[in-house]
Amino acid sequence: DAGVIQSPRHEVTEMGQEVTLRCKPISGHNSLFWYRQTMMRGLELLIYFNNNVPIDDSGMPEDRFSAKMPNASFSTLKIQPSEPRDSAVYFCASSLNQGAEAFFGQGTRLTVV
Amino acid sequence: AQRVTQPEKLLSVFKGAPVELKCNYSYSGSPELFWYVQYSRQRLQLLLRHISRESIKGFTADLNKGETSFHLKKPFAQEEDSAMYYCALNGDDKIIFGKGTRLHILP
């Protein structure tokens, strides 16, 4: 297995544009997490899914952020419209079951200018 | 509510000296605790977990429920230990992280 795959690796966009980040979890894992990493706040949990169902989205900062998991092998995190303060590294992670370790993707570095 | 606190943003230690990265947690149930490491230009990866009680790359961490701590320790620092270290708690099916500590090993 290639591990958790995220795309794109880097994204530069103008303020106001829509941004879509993509994630392919490890096959067979039933939990998927989206995190945002910044210098100020470290790793923040935005939302997580269990068996494709969103369980807790309390970490999503604003309504401009949305996430979907249409099937067990794909998830998206969308920001619309994007703002400069959304600039960060966004990580996707998956885990096999409760209490298990999380496996991380390489992250997407988002820059909003 | 779940919370993980890493009080130090940066820790500089001389090569060969002992290392201790602090982590305190808050959780009402029985937590699963982990340490993750992120080396330069690499993805986050698991370093160790409290249930396995093992030593990885010379690092150990003991869960102290009385003090709600899970400090990471290594007796003799090596230059390749320089990295970002995150303490994490898995409770209620979600994994939350502390803000991380950057460990800088001085030659």
Contact A104 B45 (CB under 8 A): yes
Instruction: Give the model's pLDDT for residue B52.
Output: 81
**Structure confidence at residue A1 (pLDDT):** 64
Torsion sign (Cα): B62, B63, B64, B70:
positive
Give me the amino acid identity at B41. R
> Are A42 and B97 within 8 A, CB to CB?
yes
| Residue A86: predicted pLDDT | 96
pLDDT for the residue A98: 66
Write the secondary structure of chain A as one string of H (helix), E (strand) and C (coil): CCCCEEECCEEEECCCCCEEEEEECCCCCCEEEEEEEECCCEEEEEEEEECCEEEECCCCCCCCEEEEEEECCEEEEEECCCCHHHCEEEEEEEECCCCCCCEECCCEEEEEC
The residues of chain B scoring below 70 in pLDDT are none
- DSSP-derived letter for residue B65 is T
CB atoms within 10 A of CB B79: 11
What is the rounded average pLDDT of the residues A97-101? 76
Which among B32, B36, B46 has the least Cβ separation from residue A99? B32
Confidence band, pLDDT 50/70/90 cuts, at residue A40: confident
Residues constituting chain A: 113
For an interface test with B, the pick among A45, A101, A106 (most B C-beta atoms closer than 10 Å) comes out as A101
**pLDDT tens digits along A13-26:** 999 999 999 999 99
Mean pLDDT score, A46-55: 94
Q: What is the pLDDT of residue B18?
A: 97
Share of chain A above pLDDT 90, in %: 88
- pLDDT tens for A68-93 read 999 999 999 999 999 999 999 999 99
Q: In A, which residues are within 8 Å of B34 by CB distance?
A: 101
